[in-house]
Chains A and B, each alone.
Chain A
Protein backbone atom coordinates (compact mmCIF):
# COMPACT_ATOMS: atom_id res chain seq x y z
CA UNK A 1 0.00 0.00 0.00
CA UNK A 2 2.72 2.44 1.00
CA UNK A 3 4.87 1.22 -1.86
CA UNK A 4 2.03 2.09 -4.23
CA UNK A 5 1.62 5.62 -2.85
CA UNK A 6 5.36 6.21 -2.95
CA UNK A 7 5.49 4.88 -6.52
CA UNK A 8 2.81 7.36 -7.60
CA UNK A 9 4.70 10.19 -5.86
CA UNK A 10 7.75 9.22 -7.91
CA UNK A 11 5.66 9.15 -11.08
CA UNK A 12 4.13 12.56 -10.31
CA UNK A 13 7.61 13.92 -9.62
CA UNK A 14 8.98 12.76 -12.99
CA UNK A 15 5.86 13.76 -14.93
CA UNK A 16 5.88 17.26 -13.43
CA UNK A 17 9.64 17.38 -14.16
CA UNK A 18 8.99 16.86 -17.87
CA UNK A 19 6.37 19.66 -17.87
CA UNK A 20 8.77 21.91 -15.94
CA UNK A 21 11.66 21.19 -18.31
CA UNK A 22 9.60 22.70 -21.12
CA UNK A 23 8.34 25.62 -18.98
CA UNK A 24 11.80 26.40 -17.59
CA UNK A 25 13.41 26.57 -21.02
CA UNK A 26 10.74 29.05 -22.13
CA UNK A 27 11.07 30.95 -18.83
CA UNK A 28 14.90 31.18 -18.97
CA UNK A 29 14.82 32.35 -22.57
CA UNK A 30 12.23 34.97 -21.63
CA UNK A 31 14.29 36.14 -18.64
CA UNK A 32 17.53 36.46 -20.59
CA UNK A 33 15.68 38.40 -23.30
CA UNK A 34 13.73 40.56 -20.85
CA UNK A 35 16.66 41.72 -18.69
CA UNK A 36 18.55 43.10 -21.68
CA UNK A 37 18.51 46.86 -21.39
CA UNK A 38 17.06 46.74 -17.88
CA UNK A 39 13.87 45.40 -16.41
CA UNK A 40 10.70 47.39 -15.86
CA UNK A 41 7.19 46.60 -14.72
CA UNK A 42 5.83 48.22 -17.85
CA UNK A 43 7.81 45.83 -20.06
CA UNK A 44 6.74 42.75 -18.09
CA UNK A 45 3.11 43.77 -17.97
CA UNK A 46 3.04 44.78 -21.63
CA UNK A 47 3.83 41.16 -22.39
CA UNK A 48 1.36 39.59 -19.97
CA UNK A 49 -1.61 41.92 -19.60
CA UNK A 50 -4.76 40.44 -21.15
CA UNK A 51 -2.68 37.68 -22.75
CA UNK A 52 -4.52 34.38 -22.30
CA UNK A 53 -1.61 32.35 -23.65
CA UNK A 54 0.82 33.68 -21.01
CA UNK A 55 -1.83 33.13 -18.30
CA UNK A 56 -2.26 29.53 -19.40
CA UNK A 57 1.50 29.05 -19.57
CA UNK A 58 2.17 30.50 -16.10
CA UNK A 59 -0.75 28.59 -14.55
CA UNK A 60 0.61 25.31 -15.94
CA UNK A 61 4.10 26.28 -14.72
CA UNK A 62 2.83 27.10 -11.22
CA UNK A 63 0.81 23.90 -10.86
CA UNK A 64 3.67 21.70 -12.10
CA UNK A 65 6.04 23.41 -9.64
CA UNK A 66 3.47 23.02 -6.84
CA UNK A 67 3.50 19.25 -7.45
CA UNK A 68 7.26 18.91 -8.04
CA UNK A 69 8.71 20.96 -5.16
CA UNK A 70 6.85 19.31 -2.24
CA UNK A 71 7.72 15.79 -3.41
CA UNK A 72 11.36 16.82 -3.74
CA UNK A 73 11.37 18.48 -0.32
CA UNK A 74 9.84 15.33 1.13
CA UNK A 75 12.95 13.33 0.15
CA UNK A 76 15.35 15.95 1.46
CA UNK A 77 13.50 16.24 4.78
CA UNK A 78 13.49 12.47 5.20
CA UNK A 79 17.08 11.78 4.19
CA UNK A 80 18.93 14.82 5.55
CA UNK A 81 16.79 15.80 8.56
CA UNK A 82 15.40 12.38 9.46
CA UNK A 83 11.86 13.76 9.33
CA UNK A 84 9.50 10.98 8.26
CA UNK A 85 5.90 9.98 8.91
CA UNK A 86 2.56 11.71 8.72
CA UNK A 87 3.63 15.18 9.89
CA UNK A 88 6.14 15.43 7.07
CA UNK A 89 3.40 14.54 4.56
CA UNK A 90 1.09 17.20 5.98
CA UNK A 91 3.86 19.82 5.90
CA UNK A 92 4.86 19.26 2.28
CA UNK A 93 1.24 19.10 1.17
CA UNK A 94 0.52 22.46 2.82
CA UNK A 95 3.68 23.87 1.24
CA UNK A 96 2.45 22.77 -2.17
CA UNK A 97 -1.00 24.21 -1.56
CA UNK A 98 0.58 27.53 -0.54
CA UNK A 99 2.74 27.57 -3.67
CA UNK A 100 -0.27 26.88 -5.90
CA UNK A 101 -2.34 29.61 -4.25
CA UNK A 102 0.39 32.27 -4.30
CA UNK A 103 1.53 31.32 -7.78
CA UNK A 104 -1.91 31.43 -9.35
CA UNK A 105 -2.52 34.76 -7.61
CA UNK A 106 0.71 36.10 -9.15
CA UNK A 107 -0.28 34.79 -12.60
CA UNK A 108 -3.64 36.55 -12.29
CA UNK A 109 -1.89 39.70 -11.04
CA UNK A 110 0.18 40.08 -14.18
CA UNK A 111 -2.70 39.07 -16.41
CA UNK A 112 -4.75 41.90 -14.96
Chain B
Protein backbone atom coordinates (compact mmCIF):
# COMPACT_ATOMS: atom_id res chain seq x y z
CA UNK B 1 0.00 0.00 0.00
CA UNK B 2 1.22 3.55 -0.67
CA UNK B 3 2.83 5.15 2.37
CA UNK B 4 1.12 8.06 4.07
CA UNK B 5 2.36 11.62 3.74
CA UNK B 6 3.84 12.38 7.15
CA UNK B 7 3.28 15.55 9.17
CA UNK B 8 6.24 17.79 10.04
CA UNK B 9 5.54 16.99 13.70
CA UNK B 10 6.06 13.32 12.94
CA UNK B 11 9.58 14.02 11.65
CA UNK B 12 10.33 16.20 14.67
CA UNK B 13 9.21 13.28 16.86
CA UNK B 14 11.47 10.88 14.93
CA UNK B 15 14.45 13.25 15.29
CA UNK B 16 13.63 13.54 18.98
CA UNK B 17 13.60 9.76 19.35
CA UNK B 18 16.69 8.98 17.25
CA UNK B 19 18.74 11.72 18.92
CA UNK B 20 17.63 10.40 22.32
CA UNK B 21 18.77 6.87 21.49
CA UNK B 22 22.09 8.23 20.16
CA UNK B 23 22.63 10.18 23.38
CA UNK B 24 21.74 7.14 25.52
CA UNK B 25 24.32 5.11 23.59
CA UNK B 26 26.95 7.87 23.83
CA UNK B 27 26.68 8.77 27.51
CA UNK B 28 28.27 5.60 28.95
CA UNK B 29 31.28 6.28 26.69
CA UNK B 30 31.33 9.90 27.81
CA UNK B 31 31.27 8.94 31.49
CA UNK B 32 33.99 6.33 30.93
CA UNK B 33 36.20 8.88 29.17
CA UNK B 34 35.87 11.42 31.97
CA UNK B 35 36.51 8.65 34.47
CA UNK B 36 39.93 8.35 32.82
CA UNK B 37 40.78 11.55 34.68
CA UNK B 38 41.03 9.37 37.77
CA UNK B 39 44.52 8.34 36.71
CA UNK B 40 47.29 10.87 36.19
CA UNK B 41 47.55 11.96 32.55
CA UNK B 42 44.61 9.71 31.69
CA UNK B 43 42.39 12.55 30.46
CA UNK B 44 45.14 14.16 28.37
CA UNK B 45 45.89 10.82 26.73
CA UNK B 46 42.22 10.42 25.88
CA UNK B 47 41.89 13.98 24.58
CA UNK B 48 44.85 13.61 22.22
CA UNK B 49 43.18 10.48 20.86
CA UNK B 50 40.12 12.62 20.07
CA UNK B 51 42.15 14.90 17.80
CA UNK B 52 41.32 12.76 14.74
CA UNK B 53 38.85 14.19 12.16
CA UNK B 54 36.47 11.25 12.47
CA UNK B 55 36.24 11.76 16.21
CA UNK B 56 35.78 15.50 15.78
CA UNK B 57 32.94 14.85 13.33
CA UNK B 58 31.31 12.47 15.81
CA UNK B 59 31.63 15.07 18.55
CA UNK B 60 29.83 17.59 16.36
CA UNK B 61 27.13 14.99 15.66
CA UNK B 62 26.63 14.31 19.37
CA UNK B 63 26.45 17.99 20.31
CA UNK B 64 23.96 18.54 17.49
CA UNK B 65 21.98 15.52 18.70
CA UNK B 66 21.89 17.07 22.16
CA UNK B 67 20.67 20.39 20.82
CA UNK B 68 18.10 18.63 18.62
CA UNK B 69 16.83 16.55 21.52
CA UNK B 70 16.54 19.65 23.71
CA UNK B 71 14.73 21.65 21.01
CA UNK B 72 12.28 18.85 20.24
CA UNK B 73 11.82 18.18 23.96
CA UNK B 74 10.89 21.80 24.68
CA UNK B 75 8.26 21.47 21.95
CA UNK B 76 6.80 18.36 23.66
CA UNK B 77 6.73 20.13 27.04
CA UNK B 78 4.95 23.12 25.49
CA UNK B 79 2.34 20.94 23.74
CA UNK B 80 1.69 18.85 26.84
CA UNK B 81 1.78 21.34 29.65
CA UNK B 82 0.55 24.61 28.15
CA UNK B 83 -3.12 25.13 27.26
CA UNK B 84 -3.66 24.41 23.55
CA UNK B 85 -2.98 27.23 21.15
CA UNK B 86 -2.78 27.00 17.36
CA UNK B 87 0.65 28.65 17.23
CA UNK B 88 2.06 25.62 18.98
CA UNK B 89 1.95 23.73 15.72
CA UNK B 90 4.76 25.99 14.56
CA UNK B 91 6.96 24.69 17.33
CA UNK B 92 8.37 22.14 14.94
CA UNK B 93 10.08 24.97 13.09
CA UNK B 94 11.45 26.42 16.31
CA UNK B 95 12.90 23.06 17.31
CA UNK B 96 14.75 22.87 14.01
CA UNK B 97 16.00 26.45 14.30
CA UNK B 98 17.34 25.89 17.79
CA UNK B 99 19.17 22.77 16.70
CA UNK B 100 20.77 24.44 13.71
CA UNK B 101 21.82 27.39 15.81
CA UNK B 102 23.64 25.34 18.36
CA UNK B 103 25.12 22.96 15.81
CA UNK B 104 26.52 25.90 13.91
CA UNK B 105 27.91 27.54 17.03
CA UNK B 106 29.69 24.37 17.93
CA UNK B 107 31.02 23.82 14.43
CA UNK B 108 32.42 27.34 14.34
CA UNK B 109 34.02 26.91 17.73
CA UNK B 110 35.82 23.71 16.77
Touch test A–B (CB under 8 Å) = yes
Report the minimal beta-carbon distance from A41 to chain B, rounded to whole angstroms: 4
As a 0/1 sequence over residues 25 to 36 of chain A, the CB contacts with chain B under 8 angstroms (1 = contact) are 101100111011
Contacts of A63 in B (CB 8 A): none
Contacts of B77 in A (CB 8 A): 14, 17-18, 21
Counting contact residues on chain A (CB < 8 A from B), the size range is 35 or more
Contacts of B44 in A (CB 8 A): 40-42
Chain B interface, number of residues (Cβ within 8 angstroms): 37
- For the complex, what is the distance from the CA of A45 to the CA of B41, rounded to whole Å? 11
B23, B73, B105: the one contacting A32 at CB < 8 Å is: B105
- Top 5 nearest A-B pairs by Cβ distance? A41-B43, A106-B34, A102-B31, A41-B44, A109-B37
Residues of A whose CB lies within 8 Å of any CB of B are 14, 17-18, 20-21, 24-25, 27-28, 31-33, 35-36, 39-42, 44-45, 62, 65, 69, 72-73, 76, 95, 98-99, 102-103, 105-107, 109-110
